[in-house]
Structure 1
């Protein structure tokens, strides 16, 4: 089943996960021929329902996790609404969902608000659950590969390079038959963690070529805008001379640009993206269970793909009831398990979290408790 406005998904865990956005369902959590996602033998199951909302970048990964968990735990129902990171954080802070998925960790002001939402003034946890490249996709007849330095990419999205045969693009693509065609950048219409990471990269790597501050909302008047990663993918795929940015599992069959890093051009790949995360420190000033990362978008390290996002699972350290704490804890333990990370990587091309880092995160998830 394909929802209107969504691209076909590799993992179709449609039981319950779309219940917040539609009334449709499925008799099976898997598509025909799809192997069930791996689940640990000792997975902790809960009875009842768990609600979450947020990042559309982790939409495909979440389908996979929900499919695996619900097939192993028949009495569990997990509802995830991929409304975008900003809306997900808002719903979490308003106590409308049990946890949020966000491509940006809670900022200082949101961390303060979280202490009002979480029971007893407890803090929220920023748990990195999903690491994936942000791909630059394009639709240009007769061109199936592009090399784009960060400065050129910034000028394209800032609408200062407006034709595909511009000399600055041609300089780095001498073998491409670039047409005299208007460039149509497609950007996000919603508050988006993917946008925050993409503009964060441009601000760090492109220097003066990108005069805007990083943020979750697009900083200029858009040429064309779309809702969610799926919306951008559809708009680029159906357009002519279009270019956009999406979480890598939404690329479909579209070509992706190679990005300039340290004198070379690097293809989008989970292995090259993982190098950024592995070298990034945790944000200063947080509590011991806050694992927000300071990503080094401006890296010049060879073989590193610099445009990445980390989707955080944002939860309370303390909930009102033991059942609620158990549901959040049990599902996030599966997300962070070796099996959960491998299942998501197989379906989406994400980079599985390193073992030592996973164990550190699992210690924090284990600390989730209740006031009871």
Structure 2
């Protein structure tokens, strides 16, 4: 008897307990095999990492599972730091990371993979500054104002700096309660990198995956931040825009423009950013231009898939290659856009990274 799809997604709940979600086939697209010719691939592969990709990963696993019913893909959204660690230690076949590999982790990943590591963008999405403030639904915030809020220097919502960004808006004297991630996070690294690049006079520290500023509330994972902001009044946090739910999302004030956190605006960042040098020809890591203009939204994360060029057995190599190819394919990117509001990769970028994925093979 032919088995039903067994594509699964391991998800971390707000209470930090893990549950296994079985992804259905509703998100499947034509060509969902992603290069799985000859009736599909089989076997089990596992990944871990960025929680920002959770909604998109459910869609990818569902679409891939329909075309490959004998393959099982597990993904645990433990956060980028945890995913990178598990990948380096050999515990998973692939990882999702909201920042590219650097320094010791890059060297360790190369050692795990036998010399080179595959690093390709798969998910581009705005990071929204989410807030809940009774009586206020729309806000514009300049980078320096956002930095002051999360640094704890702006303490009430009627502060003159917030008022200057929002002329005519009646702002209450409600205390500001910033919420940040408690776990090591690529979302945190991207957010703090934006603050440092766009408001260096206020946010003097470089971007970091671990939150360094004092004060505020801490919450585990993207869902934890969204839950904590939603449970309060005067609360403000940062989270992947696709998972903001019913929370209000601030526009970023850039000169005379107030740019909303849309997928279209986020996608423009890659057009104005350069590929990182020294990562190797199998890496497509980008140094993001956080001060880009022309309608680009600067508070953005580009999430990557990490994989090895070689795996110890053929089934593992075939399943990893087929899954990654589906994720970056046009059908896979459209599935993520529909499920998570992410920005699809451009055809030009897709044509560059697909040959790198095609290198995945079995070997020692």
TM-score grouping bracket, smaller chain normalisation: over 0.9
Match 2:90 to one of 92, 95, 107? 95
Q: Report 1:84-233 matches (<5 A).
A: 84-118=79-113, 121-233=114-226
- Find the residue that maps to 1:207 and give its secondary structure: coil
For 1:334, the equivalent position in structure 2 comes to 326
Count, aligned residues: 352
CA contact (8 A) 1:124 1:316 kept: yes
| Structure 2 equivalent of residue 7 of structure 1 | none
Rounded to whole Å, the distance in 1 between the matches of 2:243 and 2:105 is 29
Which position in structure 1 is the counterpart of 2:349? 357
More strand by share: 2
CA distance in 2, matches of 1:370, 1:79: 20
Aligned residue number for residue 285 of structure 1? 278
Q: Which string of whole-angstrom CA distances, capped at 9 and with x for unpartnered residues, describes residues 116-148 of structure 1?
A: 211xx2211111000000011000001000010
For 2:310, the equivalent position in structure 1 comes to 318
Q: In 2, are the aligned partners of 1:261 and 1:305 still within 8 Å (CA)?
A: no
Quote the Cα distance in structure 1 between the aligned partners of 2:64 and 2:94. 16
**Which shows bigger deviation, 349-358 or 220-229?**
220-229
Q: Is the 8 A contact 2:33 2:322 kept in 1?
A: no
Distance 1:264 1:22, change over 3 A: closer
Q: Which runs of 5+ in 2 are unaligned?
A: none
TM-score in terms of structure 1 length: 0.91
Partners of 2:31 and 2:274 lie apart in 1 by 29
1:63 maps to what in 2?
58
1:37 partnered with 2:28: yes
Shift of 1:42: 5.6
Aligned pairs for 1:243-262 within 5 A: 243-262=236-255
Over 3 Å counting, the alpha-carbon distance change for 1:243 and 1:14 in structure 2 is: farther
Contact 1:51–1:98 (CA under 8 A) maintained in structure 2: yes
Q: Are 2:45 and 1:53 equivalent residues in the alignment?
A: no
- Cα distance change on mapping 1:222 and 1:88 into 2, 3 Å: farther
Contact 1:122 1:318 in 2 (8 A): no
Question: Which residue does the alignment assign to 1:306?
Answer: 298
Distance in 1 between the 2:278 and 2:353 partners?
17
Q: Secondary structure of 2:287's partner?
A: coil
Shift of 1:108: 2.3
Residue 149 to residue 22, structure 1, CA distance change in 2 (3 Å): closer
Q: Distance in 1 between matches of 2:68 and 2:225?
A: 34
Q: What CA deviation, in whole Å up to 9, does each residue of 1:32-53 have, x standing for no partner?
A: xxx4331416641321111000
State the match for 1:81 in structure 2.
Answer: 76
Separation in 2, partners of 1:292, 1:105: 6
1:249-298: CA deviation from partner (whole Å, max 9, x where unpaired)? 11111111010223321111111111111221110112111110010012
Question: Structure 1 residues 284, 164: closer, same or farther in 2, change over 3 A?
Answer: same
Q: 1:285 to 1:23 in 2, by over 3 A?
A: closer
Structure 2: distance between partners of 1:156 and 1:22: 32
- 1:337 and 1:59 mapped to 2: Cα distance? 18
Deviation string 1:57-112 (CA, Å, 9 cap, x unpaired) is 11110011001111221111110000000000000000010010000111122121
